[in-house]
Amino acid sequence: MSNLKLSGISKSFDGIKTIHDVDLDIKDGEFVVFVGPSGCGKSTLLRLIAGLEKVTEGEINIGGRVVNDLEPSKRGISMVFQSYALYPHMTVRQNMSVGLKVAGLKKSEIERKVNEAAKILQLDDLMERKPAQLSGGQRQRVAIGRSIVRNPDVFLFDEPLSNLDAELRVKMRLEITALHEQLKSTMIYVTHDQVEAMTMADKIVVLKEGRVVQVGSPLELYNNPVNQFVGGFIGSPRMNFIAASFHKQEGKNITLKTKTGENVDFALDTDTTLKNDPLSIGIRPEHIALGNKYSVKIRLKIKAIELLGGTSYVHGSQANGEDLIIEIKSENMLERHKEYDFSFCPSRCHVFDHLGNVIKLARN
């Protein structure tokens, strides 16, 4: 196994830069998820690591070797594609063994490795079938099997579950996580689904417009987003943003005023002087409570209620038209088109400046 280091990676297509100076360090055995909205460059970054695209600038280092000029098959990687990319005219066995044949391995060794992988992925009974005779989940397992037999330093997954239905996606998510625990290999997984990122990753890399926005563990990103984008992207339903303006500052203590006229007090983490720019307060749906339990009060008119069983998501809007989502226990029976009081505690909030960057607050 081996660690992977990206130093100053940039990629341009026809003179248009799509990946901007990416620096990243991935340790042995880590499960890293690249996440971001469509077009953020996460798949391009993965393809650069795989060697399917050439880097314009920078250096890719896998296991202490600079691999920029090496062909994909020489980089010590394997890749699972979104569309499975199984060879349709070959059986499962042939699909899994063909790469090893090309590499010139002995027949007995190929057989051993293929059988081993088939056992891990419970493919034994499907070995003589062709991809067209397999279900989506089985095809995905074969694609993973094709990766395993190569015994790569780094496994690359390019949105491997996006073609599966919701139930199978959850199952495969668990299978891949279990596989990571079993193989203890370095895995890089690309997804646009932040739930996948949160549930699978040791480390999440959030990308936006070809730039790494934040790197950290799922909880780190959830609890301490560096900007409004990460705050909004990580977590489901997304974080609520309440527009506010600077009211007063006394040392590290600041007071912001929401558009509905509510004063919210925060304590800054560092000695910063806030300017009179527009700000926004970020609060997660689960941190807003029904009733006047906390210090900051809001009144919402309920627009819609999504009942999920134990919990419900309530969509409502304030008097100034600002929409918020709130997670409540389903036993609280709310009615649509009626107004209710909600409240939240400032200690659960995040404050973002006019550029969307987080203003660090003191946490008790």
Taking CB under 8 A as the rule, does residue 14 contact another protein?
no
Taking CB under 8 A as the rule, does residue 321 contact another protein?
no
Taking CB under 8 A as the rule, does residue 234 contact another protein?
no
Taking CB under 8 A as the rule, does residue 70 contact another protein?
no
Least distance from C-beta 281 to another protein, angstroms? Answer: 44
Q: Taking a C-beta distance cutoff of 8 angstroms, is the pair 69, 226 a contact?
A: no
Among the listed residues 120, 115, 130, the one whose alpha carbon sits nearest the alpha carbon of residue 84: 130
Least distance from C-beta 139 to another protein, angstroms? Answer: 12
Q: Taking a C-beta distance cutoff of 8 angstroms, is the pair 219, 230 a contact?
A: no
- Binding letters toward another protein, positions 80-99, x by CB under 8 A: -xxxxxxxxx--------xx
Amino acid identity at 117? A
- Binding letters toward another protein, positions 131-150, x by CB under 8 A: ---------------x----
Structure tokens at 201: 């990753």
Give the one residue of 14, 71, 167, 271 binding another protein; rule: CB under 8 A. Answer: 71
Least distance from C-beta 50 to another protein, angstroms? Answer: 6
Taking CB under 8 A as the rule, does residue 78 contact another protein?
yes
- Strand order across the beta sheet in which 4-13 lies: 16-26, 4-13, 57-62, 65-66
Q: Is 305 exposed, middle or buried (0-12, 13-18, 19+ CB in 10 A)?
A: middle
Q: At residue 214, what are phi and psi to the nearest 5 degrees?
A: -155, 145
Nearer to another protein, 80 or 221 (CB): 80
Least distance from C-beta 195 to another protein, angstroms? Answer: 24
Q: At residue 25, what are phi and psi to the nearest 5 degrees?
A: -125, 120
Taking CB under 8 A as the rule, does residue 73 contact another protein?
yes
Taking CB under 8 A as the rule, does residue 115 contact another protein?
no
For another protein (CB under 8 A), the number of binding residues is 24
Dihedral angle sign, alpha carbons of residues 12, 13, 16, 22: negative
Q: Taking a C-beta distance cutoff of 8 angstroms, is the pair 265, 254 a contact?
A: yes
State which of positions 24-63 bind another protein (CB under 8 A).
47, 50-52
Stretch that binds another protein, among 68-76, 183-191, 285-293, 337-345 (CB under 8 A): 68-76
Give the one residue of 4, 9, 33, 79 binding another protein; rule: CB under 8 A. Answer: 79
First to last CA, the chain: 41
- Give counts: helices (H), strands (E), the chain: 8, 21
Residue numbers at the binding site for another protein (CB under 8 A): 47, 50-52, 71-73, 77-79, 81-89, 98-99, 102-103, 146
